[in-house]
Amino acid sequence: MTAAAMQARPSHSPRPNADQVREILIVDDHPLMCDALALTLKISFGLKNVRTARSLGAAVEQIKSQGAPDAVILDLNLPDARGAEGIVALRRQLPDVPITMISADLEGAMISAAMAAGAQGYISKSLSREALVDSLRRMWDGEHVTPEGYEPGKAGAEDEAKAELARRFATLTPQQMRILRLICQGKANKEISYELSIAEATVKTHITAIMSKINARRRTQAVLLANSVRLFEAG
C-alpha cells in the first residue's frame, strides 16, 4: 500500500479480518527469525507481500513512505526500543492496525504493559507453527490473545496499576518519549538540549508536560515509573 493510498483510506475504516489481511510488517532485528516468520506467513496465509524492518526507527520510516500494513508483528527487544516503547510508537501511527508483540519473555508484568500500551496480542517465540498461525488468525479477527497461563483478570493490584500507568505513557508525544528516554539514561537538561538540537527552555516545557501526563513530581520518580512498566528495558 502506498502512502497516497493510506491517506486516501478513511481514518476510521473497518479493519480487515484474518482472511482480508494481505500486507504484514515484521519488525525484528534477527534476520533468521525474521525470514522464517515471513516465509511461514506467506505459506500459511497466502501472502504475497511481507515487509520487514530491523528496528523501530526503520519501521516508522517505512510506514511513512510505503503506507500502513494490515497487521504488524513486533519483537520486544529491538536495537532502538525495548519493552513497551515499540507498541507506544507504532500505535500512534497505526491506531486501527493490530500489533502483535512476540518475545521469549513471558513475565506477567511485561505482558500487562504491552497489552495496556495497545498490543492486540502477545505471543511466545517458542510457539509451534500451527499455534503461531492460529494465534495470529484469532488476533486479526479481533481477539486479544495472550500466552497460556496469563490471567489478566486475576492480576494483583500492583499489576493493574502498572497497566494503567502504561496507558498514561502511551499519551506522550514522540518527542516527549525521546526526552523521557534520555532522562532515564541520566541526561541533564543541557545534554538533552544538545542531543535533540532544541532549546533548553523547550526541554523544560516538555518535561513539565511529561510529569503532568504520568503524574510524577520529580525526575527520579519519572524514571522509577518508566522502569516499573518496562517502557525502555525488557529486563
Count of domains for the chain: 2
Q: Is the pLDDT of residue 206 over 50?
A: yes
- Give the separation between CA 47 and CA 137, rounded to whole angstroms: 13
Indicate the range of 4-13, 32-41, 206-215 predicted with least confidence.
4-13
Whether 210 and 110 share a structural domain: no
- Structural domain contains residue 39: yes
Whether 44 and 104 share a structural domain: yes
Whether 143 and 178 share a structural domain: no
Q: Is the pLDDT of residue 134 over 50?
A: yes
Give 164's contacts (C-beta < 8 A, 6+ positions apart): 116
Q: Which residues form the domain of 90?
A: 3-152
Q: CATH no. for residue 30? A: 3.40.50.2300
Q: How open is the CA angle 225-210-146, to the nearest 5 degrees?
A: 50
- Structural domain contains residue 223: yes
**Predicted pLDDT of residue 155:** 54
Give 51's contacts (C-beta < 8 A, 6+ positions apart): 23, 24, 25, 26, 62, 66, 69
Q: How open is the CA angle 215-180-155, to the nearest 5 degrees?
A: 55
Whether 120 and 180 share a structural domain: no
Whether 183 and 224 share a structural domain: yes
Q: Is the pLDDT of residue 223 over 80?
A: yes
pLDDT tens-digit series, residues 96-110: 899 999 998 888 878
pLDDT confidence tier of residue 9, bands split at 50, 70 and 90: very low
pLDDT tens-digit series, residues 26-70: 999 998 888 899 999 999 988 888 999 999 989 999 999 999 999
More confident residue, 105 or 222: 222
Q: 200 with 190: CB under 8 angstroms?
A: yes
Strand intervals (E) in 145-222: none
- What's the rounded mean pLDDT across residues 74-90? 87
Whether 144 and 29 share a structural domain: yes
- Structural domain contains residue 46: yes
Whether 121 and 60 share a structural domain: yes
- Structural domain contains residue 11: yes
Last residue of a domain, which of 152, 182, 211? 152
Whether 107 and 213 share a structural domain: no
- Structural domain contains residue 164: no
Q: Is the pLDDT of residue 5 over 50?
A: no
- Structural domain contains residue 212: yes
- Percent of all residues in the chain with a pLDDT value above 90, rounded to a whole number: 50
Last residue of a domain, which of 125, 152, 179? 152
Indicate the range of 6-10, 160-164, 220-224 predicted with least confidence.
6-10
Whether 219 and 121 share a structural domain: no
- Structural domain contains residue 162: no
Whether 107 and 216 share a structural domain: no
pLDDT confidence tier of residue 158, bands split at 50, 70 and 90: low
Whether 180 and 148 share a structural domain: no
**Predicted pLDDT of residue 7:** 37
Whether 216 and 105 share a structural domain: no
pTM higher than 0.75: yes
Last residue of a domain, which of 122, 152, 182? 152
Q: Is the pLDDT of residue 1 over 50?
A: no
